[in-house]
């Protein structure tokens, strides 16, 4: 089984070919990702119209390159998976219309994948992880703690009530005059900073629920920056270090709460999993690995190349659904919003269908 995966929900255009391996993990035959960082850098963030146009300009040849590097033609794939949401609707439409066209022409099954579900299942692509496991999904647009019980079987244990973690990193970077994308820049500056110089809050610390709130932390950092201005490089490094340390403390505390509530909804977890772009942050990874060790759990995080948006995770989610008979037809909609709770479960698969 070889599945083509297409990803266009934000500012990465991606296409990949993935197959299931004998050990339960996925075999990535090709994984092509084209970032739009240069196009959006001047604006300090993603511009939806620019993103959609960029996807249109490169997607066809990126798919061709993924097929070529996998040594395959379109007729050789067994299914076409595409991220149908959530995301910037213009970009989602580009990928979905392309996938539907290819599925019609080649008469292949269409798999309309939830982008969040693809992140959630990446640990099974890379590590063959068994269900159930606790997932921290953290990116520029999402921060959730989820009990992953099976394909299409997810229980949300907590989430952010305001900013996502990645969004907060990017906003702090912009406030401090750092380059775009901001998350890696904040992490880089934090390495040389003093995390104890500025007394920044740890929002929601100690709360019995597993929710996050980061707007207060972001505001506190802005106040400290204004009080210290004009900022020298040392000031910026210390502010970044203090902010990152606060985020790490909050993440560990919130995950600890989620671990305590996990057994009540899903039994004993097989692992603690981090996914999404923020899972590339080294400080957060190290803290989560230590927490998992304390809890007697394995810690699983994707290799850095699979932390951000990519076609391999979409293809793998398509494989998970295709082998359960969960395919989609030509009416599959593009969705700007598509919560985990609305992902169709494996226990009630859709009727077998192809785009043809």
For residue 135, give both structure tokens. Answer: 């997932």
- Residues 340 and 117: their CA atoms lie apart, in Å, by 7
Helix, strand, coil share (%) of the chain residues, nearest 5: 45, 20, 35
Is 141 annotated to bind ligand?
A: yes
Q: Angle at the Cα of 199 (from 196 to 200), degrees rounded to 5? A: 110
Both structure tokens of 192:
């040389």
End-to-end Cα separation, the chain, in angstroms: 19
3-state SS class at 82: strand
Determine whether the annotation assigns residue 342 to a binding site: no
The pair of three-digit structure tokens given for residue 65, joined into one six-digit string:
């390159």
State yes or no: cis peptide before 181, omega within 30 of 0: yes
User: Would the annotation count 115 as a binding residue?
Assistant: yes
Q: Is 23 known to sit in a ligand binding site?
A: no
> Is residue 142 marked as binding?
no
DSSP state of 75: G
Q: 304 a known binding residue?
A: no
CA distance 77 to 342: 28
133 forms beta bridges with: 148
User: Does the annotation flag 183 for ligand binding?
Assistant: yes
Query: According to the annotation, is 309 in a ligand binding site?
Result: yes
The answer to whether residues 93 and 303 touch, using CB atoms and an 8 Å cutoff, is: no
Nearest Cα neighbor of 246 from 325, 174, 296, 190 is 190
114 labelled ligand-binding: no
Q: Please compute Rg for the chain using Cα positions.
A: 20
Tally of residues, the chain: 356
In sequence order, what are the residues at sequence separation of 6 or more whose Cβ sits closer than 8 angstroms to the Cβ of residue 264? Answer: none
Q: Is 40 annotated as a binding residue?
A: no
Helices 165-175 and 215-228 sit at what angle, rounded to 10 degrees? 10
Q: Is the dihedral of CA 344, 350, 352, 353 positive or negative?
A: negative
139 is in an annotated binding site: yes
DSSP class of 212: B
Task: Tell me the HSE value of 60 on the side-chain side, using a 13 A CA sphere.
Answer: 5
Q: Which residues are annotated as a binding site?
A: 115, 119, 137-141, 170, 183, 187, 281, 309
Q: Which residues are annotated as a binding site for substrate?
A: 137-141, 170, 183, 187, 281
Q: Which residues are annotated as a binding site for Fe cation?
A: 115, 119, 309
């Amino acid at each position: 089984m070889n599945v083509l995966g297409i990803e266009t929900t934000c500012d990465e255009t991606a296409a990949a070919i993935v197959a299931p391996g004998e050990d339960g993990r996925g075999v990535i035959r090709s994984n092509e990702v084209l970032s739009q960082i240069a196009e959006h850098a001047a604006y300090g963030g993603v511009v939806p119209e620019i993103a959609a146009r960029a996807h249109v300009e490169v997607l066809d040849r990126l798919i061709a390159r993924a097929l070529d590097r996998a040594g395959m033609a379109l007729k050789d794939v067994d299914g076409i998976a595409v991220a149908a949401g959530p995301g910037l609707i213009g970009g989602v439409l580009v990928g979905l219309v392309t996938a539907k066209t290819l599925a019609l022409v080649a008469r292949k099954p269409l798999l309309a994948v939830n982008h969040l579900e693809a992140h959630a299942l990446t640990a099974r692509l890379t590590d063959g992880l068994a269900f159930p496991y606790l997932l921290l999904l953290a990116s520029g647009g999402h921060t959730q703690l989820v009990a992953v019980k099976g394909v299409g079987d997810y229980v949300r244990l907590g989430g952010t009530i305001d900013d996502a973690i990645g969004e907060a990193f990017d906003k702090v970077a912009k406030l401090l005059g750092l380059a775009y994308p901001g998350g890696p820049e904040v992490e880089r500056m934090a390495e040389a900073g003093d995390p104890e110089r500025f007394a920044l809050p740890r929002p929601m610390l100690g709360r019995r629920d597993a929710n996050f709130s980061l707007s207060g932390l972001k505001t506190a950092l802005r106040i400290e920056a204004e009080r210290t201005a004009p900022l020298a490089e040392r000031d910026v490094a210390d502010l970044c270090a203090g902010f990152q340390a606060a985020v790490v403390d909050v993440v560990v505390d919130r995950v600890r709460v989620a671990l305590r509530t996990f057994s009540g909804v899903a039994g004993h977890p097989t692992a603690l999993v981090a996914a999404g772009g923020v899972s590339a942050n080294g400080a957060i990874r190290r803290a989560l690995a230590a927490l998992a060790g304390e809890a007697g759990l394995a810690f699983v995080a994707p290799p850095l190349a699979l932390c951000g948006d990519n076609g391999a995770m979409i293809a793998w989610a398509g494989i998970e659904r295709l082998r359960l008979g969960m395919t989609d037809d030509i009416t599959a909609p593009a969705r700007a919003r598509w919560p985990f709770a609305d992902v169709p479960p494996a226990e009630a698969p859709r009727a077998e269908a192809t785009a043809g």
